[in-house]
């Protein structure tokens, strides 16, 4: 974990308002697992003031290169999207605990489910699981065809299915509709996306083994400010908690209250 | 370094800079970035008598040059803080300023008693200004009689100096400052956050689950500066100044306003190294300007 000015490499809009950016620096050599994230300061002005947590989608340790994917949404991500190659960005990272790929064995059937900007951290997860010779199936959900990205990239790891809310491509509906329609079975389930998507998966697969990654507003990103806590399932006292930034953002299914 | 030394009641500080309560946890996270011995002091996250989960999320929202937070005093309770957090902090020589919060006088008194008797903290900071708990806290900070009564009751049980952290959410902060001074406060820390709100124009709902939150960051600095100057004119009590500090120029401005030490809050989230950076820059600034002691800076502000 360090604070560093990383150098912006290629940046391109890969879907409507979705940007893929390469960042170079030594933080890349410290990434330990897929699912970790960066806390990025989009400006050194007083506004916007705070860092933005953005997950790492791909690491190339030898080239000291990180790939991030984010949606241009507000002031901060717009500033970030407007960076050009050679610019530097103030980055704190790598932060958080990611996916434990060691728990997956060769031959395991693994289902990876991503929704919208929840898709990026699953990319290196799928890659790592493929390397462990797991049978990877991916289901990706988007608003519409224009917002879709990485569906081809995931094809190098196994079969890929897509759902869109408006049905402009793939199955019309949600990721859960695709899983039922295609009758996909799995030993392990990994997911990242909006909370309603994660909740639907947890409801449909109450015995699921594997983990999920949460997105939440953060302050410090390192566990000091208690902005991003969540409740723990089965905690009667109501006082138990997990910090998404430093205990997560990846948690086993049914550990935290969604 | 002696030029930066500040001696306040209970707090023998090698420099005037400390992280502010609630922005630094109990130090563990920031110790991964630097040696906490460089700090003048550490203001700990608020302790309450019983454990508190705090508010639901979202607890933070960004605003122009600032942020709103409504954490809700999440903490493991004073007993666990003393048994689990303070022993770890003992490895540092940096004096600890323990923030005490509660919803009733008895909560404050019990929490203050435990912290005072722990022998591990140098002074208490009475949090009568948290805007984020419904049961009270800020009620003590907006009524001079309640503030004075609470100060007296805590002073009666504390063997260590008691600083009172003032709320800016009042018509006249000087009245509160004078009331707690008469009640025996050893110092003031000011200002806490200002109550604010941000509404999501897409949902029509406040962005923060608690609806209101405390505004911090550079946006509130002019208010802090004005209030410190007003209070400084009317009291001899030492003042720990805070509210939106992000640069060495801000630190100087707080001294000119009348602060004796400063605390840095929100800026820790932007730059985890902000405190050591400011300490170094303050020393360089004083050297460049030919100041030998912080007293000389304060004198320029009109305070001897």
Contacts of B30 in chain A (CB under 8 A): 222, 224
Cβ-Cβ contacts under 8 Å between A and B: the total is 97
A residues 121-160 closer than 8 Å to B (CB): none
Q: Nearest CA to CA, how far is A238 from chain B (Å)?
A: 7
pLDDT tens digits for B61-76? Answer: 999 999 999 999 999 9
Query: ipTM score of the complex?
Result: 0.94
Contacts of A47 in chain B (CB under 8 A): 64-65
* Distance from C-alpha of A188 to C-alpha of A181, rounded to nearest angstrom: 19
Angle, alpha carbons A35-A78-B63 (nearest 5°): 90
**A227/B71 touch (CB, cutoff 8 Å), yes or no:** yes
B222 touches A: beta carbon within 8 Å: no
The pLDDT of residue B129? 78
Largest Cα separation within chain A, whole Å, is: 52
User: Could you give phi then psi for residue B18, rounded to 5 degrees?
Assistant: -135, 150
Which of A47, A49, A224 lies at the smallest CB-CB distance from B25? A224
Asked whether residue B210 is marked as a ligand-binding residue, the answer is no
Enter the tokens of residue B281: 């820059």
**A228/B57 touch (CB, cutoff 8 Å), yes or no:** yes
* Distance from C-alpha of B237 to C-alpha of B234, rounded to nearest angstrom: 9
- The yes-or-no verdict on residue A251 having pLDDT over 60 is yes
* Distance from C-alpha of B25 to C-alpha of B30, rounded to nearest angstrom: 9
Angle, alpha carbons A44-A48-A50 (nearest 5°): 80
Q: For residues B68 and B197, is the Cβ–Cβ distance under 8 A?
A: yes
DSSP B115: H
pLDDT tens digits for A137-196? Answer: 999 999 999 999 999 999 999 999 999 999 999 999 999 999 999 999 999 999 999 999
The pLDDT of residue B135? 57
Asked whether residue A230 is marked as a ligand-binding residue, the answer is no
* Distance from C-alpha of A9 to C-alpha of A89, rounded to nearest angstrom: 11
Catalytic residue among B17, B89, B126, B130: B130
Print the SS3 string covering A118-158. HCCHHHHHHHHHHHCCCEEEEEEEECCHHHCCCCCHHHHCE
The pLDDT of residue B302? 86
Nearest C-alpha neighbor of A124 from the set A71, A176, A186, A61:
A61
Nearest C-alpha neighbor of A155 from the set A135, A138, A180:
A138
pLDDT tens digits for B166-195? Answer: 999 999 999 999 999 999 999 999 999 999
pTM for this one?
Answer: 0.95
Average pLDDT of chain A is 97
Q: For residues B19 and B92, is the Cβ–Cβ distance under 8 A?
A: no
Q: For residues B276 and B36, is the Cβ–Cβ distance under 8 A?
A: no
* Distance from C-alpha of A66 to C-alpha of A94, rounded to nearest angstrom: 10
**A49/B22 touch (CB, cutoff 8 Å), yes or no:** no
The pLDDT of residue A205? 97
Report the sign of the C-alpha dihedral through residues B2, B6, B7, B13, in that order.
negative
Asked whether residue A71 is marked as a ligand-binding residue, the answer is yes
The pLDDT of residue B134? 58
Which regions of chain B are under pLDDT 50? none
Asked whether residue B66 is marked as a ligand-binding residue, the answer is no
Nearest C-alpha neighbor of A171 from the set A160, A183, A181:
A181
* Distance from C-alpha of B273 to C-alpha of A108, rounded to nearest angstrom: 44
Contacts of B32 in chain A (CB under 8 A): 1, 222
Q: Which residue of A has its CA nearest to B244?
A: A46
**A226/B59 touch (CB, cutoff 8 Å), yes or no:** yes
Q: Which residue of A has its CA nearest to B20?
A: A225
Q: If you count them, how many residues does chain A have?
A: 258
Distance set, CA B6 to CA A241, B9, B254, B293, B294 (Å): 38, 10, 15, 10, 8
Is B130 an active-site residue?
A: yes
Q: Nearest CA to CA, how far is A124 from chain B (Å)?
A: 27
């Amino acid at each position: 974990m360090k604070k560093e000015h990383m150098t912006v490499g290629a940046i391109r809009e890969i879907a409507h308002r979705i940007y893929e950016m390469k960042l170079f620096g030594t933080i890349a050599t410290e990434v330990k697992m897929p699912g970790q994230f960066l806390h990025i300061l989009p400006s050194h002005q007083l506004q916007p003031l705070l860092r933005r947590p953005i997950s790492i989608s791909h690491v190339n340790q030898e080239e000291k290169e990180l790939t991030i994917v984010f949606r241009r949404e507000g002031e901060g991500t717009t500033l970030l999207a407007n960076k050009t190659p050679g610019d530097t960005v103030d980055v704190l990272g790598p932060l958080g605990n990611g996916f434990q790929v060691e728990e997956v064995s060769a031959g395991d059937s693994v289902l990876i489910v991503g929704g919208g900007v929840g898709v990026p951290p699953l990319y290196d997860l799928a890659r790592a699981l493929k390397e462990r010779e797991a049978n990877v199936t991916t289901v990706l959900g988007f608003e519409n065809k224009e917002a879709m990205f990485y569906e081809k990239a995931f094809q190098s790891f196994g079969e890929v299915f897509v759902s869109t809310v408006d049905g402009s491509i793939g199955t019309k509906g949600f990721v859960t509709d695709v899983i039922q329609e295609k009758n996909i079975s799995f030993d392990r389930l990994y997911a990242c996306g909006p909370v309603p998507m994660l909740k639907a998966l947890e409801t449909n697969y109450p015995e699921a083994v594997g983990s999920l990654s949460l997105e939440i507003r953060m302050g410090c990103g390192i566990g000091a400010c208690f902005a991003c806590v969540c409740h723990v399932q089965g905690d009667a006292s109501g006082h138990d908690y997990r910090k998404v930034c430093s205990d997560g953002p990846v948690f086993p299914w049914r550990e935290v209250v969604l | 370094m002696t030029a930066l030394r500040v001696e306040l009641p209970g707090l023998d500080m090698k420099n005037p800079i400390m992280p502010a309560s609630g922005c630094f946890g109990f130090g563990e996270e920031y110790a991964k970035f630097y040696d906490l011995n460089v700090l003048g002091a550490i203001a700990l996250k608020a302790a309450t008598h019983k454990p508190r989960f705090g508010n639901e999320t979202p607890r933070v929202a960004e605003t122009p040059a600032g942020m709103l937070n409504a954490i809700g005093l999440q903490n493991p309770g004073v007993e666990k803080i003393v048994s689990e957090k303070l022993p770890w902090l003992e490895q540092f020589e940096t004096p600890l300023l323990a923030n005490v919060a509660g919803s009733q006088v008895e909560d404050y008194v019990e929490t203050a008693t435990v912290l005072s008797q722990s022998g591990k903290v140098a002074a208490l900071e009475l949090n009568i200004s948290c805007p984020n708990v419904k049961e009270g806290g800020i009620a003590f900070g907006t009524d001079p009689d309640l503030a004075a009564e609470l100060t007296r009751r805590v002073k009666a049980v504390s063997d260590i100096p008691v600083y009172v952290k003032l709320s800016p959410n009042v018509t006249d902060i000087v009245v509160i400052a004078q009331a707690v001074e008469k009640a025996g406060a050893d110092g003031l820390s000011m200002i806490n956050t200002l109550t604010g709100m941000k509404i999501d124009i897409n949902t029509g709902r406040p962005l923060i689950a608690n609806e209101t939150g405390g505004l911090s960051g550079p946006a509130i600095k002019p208010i802090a500066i004005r209030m410190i100057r007003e209070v400084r004119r009317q009291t001899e009590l030492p003042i720990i100044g805070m509210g939106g500090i992000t640069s060495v120029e801000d630190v100087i401005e707080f001294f000119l306003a009348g602060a004796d030490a400063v605390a840095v809050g929100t800026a820790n989230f932007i730059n985890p190294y902000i405190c050591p950076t400011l300490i170094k820059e303050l020393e360089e600034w004083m050297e460049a300007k030919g100041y030998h002691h912080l007293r000389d800076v304060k004198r320029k502000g009109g305070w001897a």
